[in-house]
Structure 1
Amino acid sequence: MQNLGRSAGFGKAVYLDQAGPGTGEGMRSADLGVQMMGSLRTRLGPPLGRTCPAPRSGRCRACAQGSTAAPPPSLSALGPGPNGIEKRREARGGQGGERPSHVTRGPAWRPRSAALGRRGARPAHLRHPSNGSRALFFSVSRLWKECVRRTLRTQQSVAWISTMEPGPPEMHSLVQVLAKELEKVHALPQTVLYMADEDTFVGEEDGHGHKKARKRNPQEIARAIERLFPKRCHVLGVITPGVIVTPMGSGSNRPQEIEDGEAGFAILFPKIDGVKIETFHFLKDLRKCIHESKLIEAGLKNNPELRVVLIFGYNSWKIGAAGFLQKVVNILNEKSVMLAGGQVDRLTSLTSESNPPTNEACGVVGLSFSGPQIQSASVLLNQDVNDEKTAEAAMQRLKAANIPEYNTFGFMFACVGRGFQYYRTRRNVEADAFRKFFPTVPLFGFFGNGEIGCDRIVTGNFILRECNEVEDILLHSYTTVMILIHLGPTK
C-alpha cells in the first residue's frame, strides 16, 4: 500500500483549470483508500467459507461485527496427564478433531495435530491465518489498489511541481520537491516532462564569478526522478542553461526567468480523453536516414489529428547535430502542425526506451500532442523586440489568436543571449509580458542555444500563417518563441 501511495497518489494539486489563486483540495489517496476499504468490508462481510473467528478482543476485524461466542478455554489450565489429554480433546471438539462450534470453516479444515503430526493444537484465536485468509486479504488489497487507480484516472487536469531553491549538496532540489509533493497530486501521470538547470544538475554552481564543483551525479539524479513515478509512466527530461518556472499553487503565480541558480519543474500529464501525448526520439546516425515508418510509429506522419510538436535537439555542439535537427524540423514542418522548441544541453531521461543514449550521442527528442480538441498558437519575438513595449506588442498578437485560457499552459523558449542582459539589466521582461495578457496561464520553458518556431495559429481547421508566401523559417537565434497549448475542456 505504501507503493500504491507512491504510484497512485501524487503533488500539490496545481491544476490548469484554476481561474485564481489557491490549490485544489481533493481527496488524498490514503483517505480515499480508507473509505473504499470500508465500503468493501461492508459489501463482502466475513471472509468466504468461515464464520466470525472471534479473536480475543471479542470483535471480528474481517466483518467489523461483534462476536457473541466466548473464546475457547485455556488448554494449559486443563492439567497434564491422561485426564488432561481427554479434557483437551473435548475442548478441541472430541476425538475426531472437530472444530469448536464457535469457529467453523469449510470442509477442508484439519486440526493442527493431524496436519503437523503433533498431539496438541493451539486455540483457534492463536493460530496463524490460513492460506485462504491470506489469499482473500491480498485479493482485497489488489481490489482496493485498482479502485484507487480507477478513481485517479478520472482526474484529467494537468499538474506541475516546481522549485527555485537550492537543494542538498548531493542531490538536485527538484528530486527533493518531487518526493515531497507527488503524494499530494490527485492524478495518475501518464507522461512527465521535466527540465532543470544544467550547472547545478551536473554538479557545478556559481561561486564569486567562477565555477566550483559539487558532489552530484547527473545519472543518479535522473534515476532518482524516474523512480518517483509509476513504471508505465513515460518520463522525458532535459537540462538547459536556464529555465522558466511558474511557482506551485496556482497558474496566476508570477512566472520566473531563472538564468542563474538552481531551479526546475516537472509537468504531469494524465490520460486525457480525446488527447494523445507521445514521446519520440531520433538518434543521429550518419549511416541511416530517418525512415518514414519511424515517423508514422511516433504519430508524426499520416496522423490527421496531430496538432502540436515540442521538439528539442540535444548535444547540438557536436559535428552534424545542427544539420540533423534541421532535417527533422523540415520533415515535420506542416501547415496544420505547431512546431516549437529549441536546442538543450543534454538529454537526461527517456524511460520509453530500454537503452537511453549516452552523453556522447546527439539527436532529437520531444513530445507530440494529438487530438481534435487541441488548439495552439505561437509567436516569434525576434531581435526587434528589445524592450517592454515591443514585448507586450508580441503578446497582443498571441492574445488575438483567441485560444481558450482554461486547461491551457504556455511555453517560452528563449535564446541564452536574451534575458536581463539583453533588456539592459531588466529581469523577467518577457515572462511578465506574457503574464499581463494571460494572468491565469502557467508558463514554463528554458534558455537554450537556439529556438524553433514561428508565428502560427492552429485551431481546428482554421490556420493563420503570417509568413505569407515565404516558407516558414523555424530555426532561429537571439529570439524567443512563445506558444500556447489548449487541451480542450476538463472533466
Structure 2
Amino acid sequence: MFYVVGKKKPLCETATAFEKILPKECEILGLTALGIVATPMGSSSNRPLELEHGEAGFGLIIPKMNGVKVQTFHFIKDPKSRCFDESKLQEAGLKNNPDLRVVLIFGYNTWRQGDSRFLTQVLGPLNEKNIIIAGGQVEYLAPFSPQMKAKGSTYTSACGLTFSGPRIQAASVLLDISVNKVDTADSVIQRLKAANIPEENSIGLMFACNGRGEQHYGKDNVEADLFRKHFPSIPLFGFFGNGEIGCDRVVGASFTLRECCDNRDELLHGYCTVMTIIHFGK
C-alpha cells in the first residue's frame, strides 16, 4: 500500500491504523507532504483535486497483477561514508533487472544542504536504465522498517516503489519553471498524451513543487484539470513537495528510449512538476 497525507495529519497514527486492518504480507509505504493531489472515490473519471492546504490524504492499495511485480526499497545514508554503496541497488532489484520499468523514488531530508549528494548518488546509476523515474522530496516518512524506527527523524534516506514486468508501459513529462500559463502547461501535457499509453488499467501521478499550484498560475487546480482534459478516465494522485524527480521519458511496447544523460535531462528539479502515467497491461 502507498499512501500520502498532508503535513498536519499524524503520519505514524495513520500507519498504525493501516497495519491493523491490512494483511501482514502487505507492505506499506507512507509519506507526509506539504499538499496532495487526489482523485475522489467513486469513479476514476472524477475531477482530480490539488489540495495544497489543510488536512487531507489518500491511499492506494496495489493488488497482485499477472506479469507485474511491485517491490518497496529503502536506503539510509551512512553518516560515516561520503559514497553510496551501489550494491544495495542490486539487492533491491534496481540493477541487473531487465524487466524493471518504473521507479517511484522519494527523498527524506535530502533537500538539506550537504545531503542532496546522497540522492544524486542513488539516482545516478538508474539513469542508465530503460525506466521511468519519478518522485519528489517529502516532509516525513512513516517508519515502516526497523532501521527507520531506530533512527527516528534524524536520518537521510531514499525510499520508493519499483514496478517490473514486460506488460508495463509508462511515460513522464516535466513542466519546468517557465511553464506558468495554462496554454503552455497544456502543450506539455499533450506530449504525455502523444506517448499513446493505454488509459485502461492505468494510473496518473503528479509530483509538484509547493511553489507551483495556485500561486504559480494565479488560479487553482490548473495542472490537475489539464490532466483530466487529456486523460478523462485515468485517476490522478500525487503531492506538493520540496523538490521534484523525473524527466521526459517513454517506456512503451516498442520504443527507443532517450536516456537522461545530458544537461537537458537532469533528474533533480525545483519549481517544477513531473507527471507520469503507468499502464499495468490488460
TM-score range, shorter chain: over 0.9
| 2:266 maps to 1:473 | yes
Question: Shift in Å at residue 469 of structure 1?
Answer: 6.2
Matched letter for residue 314 of structure 1 = Y
Distance 1:364 1:399 in 2: 30
Contact 2:208–2:241 (CA<8 Å) still a contact in 1? yes
The amino acid that maps onto 1:201 is: K
1:269 aligned counterpart, secondary structure: coil
Does the alignment pair 1:263 with 2:71?
no
Give the structure, 1 or 2, with the largest relative contact order (CA under 8 Å, sep 6 or more): 2
Pairwise CA distance, 1:313? 0.1
TM-score, normalising length: structure 1: 0.55
Residues 1:364 and 2:158 are matched in the alignment: yes
Q: Return the match for 1:405 from 195, 199, 215.
A: 199
Matches within 5 A, 1:272-311: 272-288=65-81, 289-311=83-105
Please give the residue correspondences for 1:21-420 in structure 2 after superposition, counting only pairs within 5 Å. Answer: 192-198=1-7, 200-202=8-10, 218-288=11-81, 289-350=83-144, 353-357=145-149, 358-420=152-214
Deviation track 1:265-286 (CA, whole Å, cap 9, x = no partner) reads 1111111111000000000113
Secondary structure in structure 1 of the residue aligned to 2:214: coil
Q: After superposition, what is the alpha-carbon deviation per residue over 1:277-321, rounded to whole angstroms, capped at 9, x for unaligned?
A: 000000011324433432112110000000000000012354532
Which has a greater percent of strand? 2
The 3-state SS of whatever aligns with 2:256 is strand
1:383 CA drift (Å): 1.6
Per-residue Cα deviation, 1:465-484 (whole angstroms, up to 9, x for no partner)? 39796562010001100000
Q: How far is the alpha carbon of 1:201 from its aligned partner?
A: 1.3
**What code does the residue aligned with 2:172 have?**
S
- For residues 468 and 334 of structure 1, the distance between their equivalents in structure 2, rounded to whole angstroms, comes to 8
CA distance in 1, matches of 2:42, 2:143: 26
- Report the secondary structure of 1:356's partner residue: helix
CA shift at 1:395, angstroms? Answer: 1.0
Residue 464 of structure 1 deviates from its aligned partner by 4.1
* Count of aligned pairs: 279
* 2:121 alignment partner, SS class: helix
Alpha carbon RMSD of aligned pairs, Å?
A: 1.8
Amino acid at match of 2:43: S
Cα distance change, pair 333–248 in 1 and its aligned pair in 2 (3 A): same
What amino acid maps onto 2:167 in structure 1? Answer: Q
Q: Encode CA deviations 1:238-274: one digit per residue, 9 max, x unaligned.
A: 0000000100011100000000011111111111111
Find the aligned partners of 1:220 and 1:422 in 2 and give their Cα distance: 33
Which runs of 5 or more structure 1 residues have no equivalent in the other structure?
1-191, 203-217
Partner SS for 2:9: helix
Q: Which runs of 4+ in 1 moved over 6 A?
A: 466-469
Question: Identity, % of aligned pairs?
Answer: 56
Q: Cα deviation per residue 1:331-352 (whole Å; 9 max; x = unaligned)?
A: 21124111000100000142xx
Answer yes or no: is the 8 Å Cα contact 2:177–2:271 preserved in 1: yes
**Whole-Å Cα distance in 1 between the matches of residues 263 and 217 of structure 2?**
30
2:215 is paired with a residue whose SS is coil
Q: Deviations over 1:132-153 (max 9, x none)?
A: xxxxxxxxxxxxxxxxxxxxxx
Q: Within 1, Cα distance between the matches of 2:75 and 2:58?
A: 24
Q: Which residue of 1 aligns with 2:251?
A: 458
Whether the 8 Å CA contact 2:110–2:118 is kept in 1: the answer is no
The TM-score, its normalising length taken from structure 2, stands at 0.94
Assess if the C-alpha contact under 8 Å between 1:235 and 1:349 holds in 2: no
Q: Could you say which residue in structure 1 is the equivalent of 2:230?
A: 437
Deviations 1:380-419, CA, capped at 9 Å, x for gaps: 0012211111111111100000001100001000000001
What amino acid is the match of 1:270? P
> In structure 2, do the counterparts of structure 1 residues 410 and 457 end up closer, same or farther at CA, with 3 Å as the change threshold?
same
Partner Cα distance (2:162, 2:88) in 1: 14
- Name the SS of the counterpart of 1:257 in structure 2: strand
The letter of the residue matching 1:411 is L
Q: Secondary structure at the match of 1:249?
A: coil
User: Which structure has the greater CA radius of gyration?
Assistant: 1
Partner letter of residue 89 of structure 2? L
Could you tell me whether the CA contact under 8 Å between 1:342 and 1:451 is conserved in 2?
A: yes
Q: Distance in 2 between matches of 1:219 and 1:247?
A: 23
CA distance in structure 1 between the partners assigned to 2:264 and 2:154 by the alignment = 34
Structure with bigger helix share is: 1
Confirm or deny: 8 A CA contact 1:312 1:341 kept in the other structure.
yes
Q: Distance in 2 between matches of 1:406 and 1:226?
A: 30
